[in-house]
Structure 1
Amino acid sequence: MSTHHHVGERIRELRKVRQLSVRQLAERVTISVSLLEKVESGRRTPSPGLVAQLARALAVGPDRLTGQPYINGGETEDQIQSVIPELRRILLTYDNPDTLDVAPRPLAVLAAEMDHVAQMRQDGQYAPMGPLLPGLLAELTHVALASRGEEQQRAFWWLARGYRATNSLAHKLGYHDLSLTAVERVHWAADRSGDPLMQVTAAYLKSGAMIRMGAYASARRLLEGLEQEIERLAPEASLTEAQIAVQGAVLLKLAILEARDGQPGRAAQRLAEARAAAGLLPGDSTHYEMSFGPTNVRIHEAASMIDSGDTERALARLREWGAEQDRTEWELPTGIAKERASHHHIDIAAARLAEGDRQGAYADLAVARGISPAHTRYHPTVRHTAAALVRMDRHQDDRLAAFARRAGV
């Protein structure tokens, strides 16, 4: 198994190319020299926020540091990879599509299939979802462009969801240029859907791309504007459940942004606002494919602490919440979107590794894989964490080695 070219090695190589010392680079991203040394040696998994900061300081995109897209080993044979060229063609010809060999199916049939695809997206089932997308997007595009009135708006509404699924697939596989194009197409379709909340959703996705690139000021302005826009949509401040859910997702995104931007106080304020919004809902919800509710607020609270570098407090909070369940640590309730649940355990694995709990880190990675194998396989933090665990493994644990191989290490 080769662990060459992990994220830390890429950082070190680019730092030398830029003729920066460890201290100079650490000062540029306001972290300690010892932390940067641990990252470069592969003993510490950098948070997504730190990856964005380092990429910006080194004048590259985050994908240059993470090594995405991952095309190596058995992944070159994945059917999921083969749909990427077709998706590029579909997104390029979005307003001037190729002629279909047969007439598109009725909108009701396409909507039902897209609803199924959206559920697969939330569950991280990328392999079965990917091959469905090109044909479905093509049919919906023809229906949307050929229809008029309310049916046309509905077709564009479903098309926006299809582009969202494309964005998620491209982002998870590491095709960030394709992901950004898909986000623009979500905007294009949402603007024609006649649904203001779908337009907010499109802008929300764009803010996520901004955060991943470290464009915090731009993302903050956009998200704060979205929060105000949702308030304007509600007469006499009486928000519907869907509006509350979308607004709550915006608040959680702001919390993560502030945590990554080194503003833990602001992050805590946004989390408090999201917690209050979640209290207005009967429970966890998925309006507009936004996982929002009490559970997701807690997931983001832990994630914001981890992104801020306070991994000890994040793990302590899990123990506090676990006591409420009469458990050692907090366990997610059933019914949470599998991609979201898997992501939580990936974050916690990185936090455990930072605190020196290698066995616990591996256990959380295994839980994440059990929840959503594809999401775990393609997540960069999994690769970083698994590679670090292998490098520190003195007993040559076969289970850990096998996990790392499956993760592409």
Structure 2
Amino acid sequence: MVASHVGQRVRQLRKLRHLSVRSLATQAAISPSLLEKIESGDRTLSPALLTRIASVLRVGPDRLTGQPYMNGAEAEDPVQAVIPELRRICLTYDSPDDLLVAPRPLPVLAAEMEQLSRMRQDGKYIPMGALLPGLLSELTHVALAGRGEEQRRAFGWLARGYRATNSLAHKLGYHDLSLTAVERVHWAADRAGEPLMQVTAAYLKAGAMLRLGSFGSARRLLEGLEREIERMAPEGSMSEAELAVQGAVLLKLAMVEARDGQADRAVLRLAEAQAAAAVLRRDTTHYEMSFGPTNVRIHEIAMLIDTGDTGRALARLREWGAEQDRDEWELPDDLAAERASHHHIDVAAARLAEGDRGGAFADLAVARRISPAHTRFHPTVRHTAGALVRLDRSGDEAVTNFAAWAGV
């Protein structure tokens, strides 16, 4: 029988590795009772804990999450059909197949890529996926055949296309394709001659390292990026874009330290990011990296949840809510939908850990309303929705229907 949730996969692999509950719990730095709850499906795993357990079991995190999800309604989604085409494009990136018709002019392609980038930030994967392969192919031909400034601009837009490919592949659970796409972002960014795009490419690579638990490598890469941005613009003369990209790097460093158990260093990096956000005084999306006061707070909550301090995370939401004369902190309406949806998914898992099943389901419902595709494909949603169904003794139809929609 194929395991249907993370806990069952943990149990199967633990037995395959001939580990007792106590042995795996000790090596993962958790209590045996927590591991038993995880294996039974009554508790969800934070990304940090998922990475630790996967490392002990000598598998990738996606082996535990069961990605890519092809055993439920997702198999019917047309977005899955573009994956083979994206693999082909990534493979033939510097020697593409011939086009049946000539590519459209670069300004037309740039406008379409701008639209596609907004779709990515809003988690609109299905319409984005339909556009992405053809647009990548056209931009590749324009970039390789171009000269001078037009060629550099074409490679800049192509880098953004590969970034969208990385995001789509990662969200759908095709992590090998995601990593390949990151390398293609590097390739195109180098040819575009845009230093901050090159930083962005390396930032994406550090994110992949973080997900795989390569904390030392991610830390060294991100610290190098921070120094590189300082060399581009000495302190006091940074543009808004440079400051925003540096702030995003600092937030990623804070997450690395948190997942690596370096709480003091995580707090220090978060404070540095807060200082950068205070200078900006607004939320920005330079190079498609969200940064500003809102995203700093979102990361602070994520750090607390990742380290298991779910009670403090929820208390912080209430503190910030008081500043808005609300019960809990509410995100600004203009925040990128994918970022907002991700926050509510994290908070749902925290509420479940604190025993608030109603609140957990309410946050999942908000995440779905904000960005349905992002919510449906997110592994934490499956963990949380599955746990809510297993813990529900009343047979709540709304919970059951949500879980079925999520493919649980």
Amino acid in the other structure paired with 1:191: D
Give the aligned residue type for 1:365: L
Work out whether residues 281 and 293 of structure 2, in 8 Å CA contact, stay in contact via their aligned partners in 1.
no
Q: What per-residue deviation string (whole Å, max 9, x for no partner) do you get for residues 67-119 of structure 1?
A: 00000232222110100010010100000000001111111110000000000
Deviation by residue 1:182-233 (Cα, 9 ceiling, x = unmatched): 0010011011110100000000000000000000000000001101100000
Q: Distance in 1 between matches of 2:219 and 2:22?
A: 29
Supply the AA of the counterpart residue of 1:366. A
> Are 1:298 and 2:297 counterparts?
yes
- Match of 2:279, SS state, is coil
Q: Distance in 1 between matches of 2:31 and 2:268?
A: 26
Counterpart CA distance in 2 for 1:327 and 1:19 is 51
Q: Which position in structure 1 is the counterpart of 2:50?
A: 51
Deviations 1:159-181, CA, capped at 9 Å, x for gaps: 00000000000000000010010
Structure 2, unpaired ranges of 5+? none
Tell me the equivalent position of 1:176. 175
TM-score by length of 2: 0.99
Moved over 3 A (4+): none
Measure the CA separation in 1 of the matches of 2:353 and 2:261.
18
Q: Is the 8 A contact 1:358 1:389 kept in 2?
A: yes
Matched residue, 2:331: 332
- Give yes or no for contact 1:353–1:385 (8 Å, CA) kept in 2: yes
Q: Please say if residues 139 and 157 of structure 2, whose CA atoms lie closer than 8 Å, have aligned partners that are also in contact.
A: yes
Q: Could you tell me which amino acid in structure 1 is paired with residue 175 of structure 2?
A: H
What amino acid is aligned across from residue 61 of structure 2 in structure 1?
Answer: P
Query: Which shifted more, 398-407 or 72-81?
Result: 72-81
- Counterpart AA for 2:280: L
State the TM-score, normalizing by the size of structure 1: 0.98
C-alpha deviation, 1:318, in angstroms: 0.3
Structure 1 vs Structure 2 CA RMSD:
1.1
Unpaired runs of 5+ residues, structure 1, are none
> Aligned pairs, how many?
408
2-structure distance, mates of 1:74, 1:306: 29
Letter in 2 for 1:39: I
Q: Which residue of 2 aligns with 1:32?
A: 31
State the SS of the aligned residue for 2:131. helix
* Residue 64 (structure 2) aligns with: 65
Counterpart in the other structure of 2:369: 370
Q: Which residue is equivalent to 2:110?
A: 111
- Give % identity: 75
Structure 2 counterpart of 1:277: 276
Q: Within 2, Cα distance between the matches of 1:282 and 1:56? A: 39
Q: Secondary structure at the match of 1:279?
A: helix
Asked whether the 8 Å contact 1:210–1:219 carries over to 2, the reply is yes
Contact 2:120 2:167 in 1 (8 A): yes
Conservation of the 8 A alpha-carbon contact between 1:3 and 1:387:
no
Aligned partners of 1:72, 1:51: CA distance in 2, in Å?
A: 22
* Shift, 1:28, TM fit: 1.3
Q: State whether structure 2 residue 125 is matched by structure 1 residue 143.
A: no
What does residue 132 of structure 2 align with? 133
Structure 1 residues 2-401: aligned runs within 5 Å: 5-235=4-234, 237-401=236-400
* Alpha-carbon separation, structure 1, partners of 2:278 and 2:222: 21
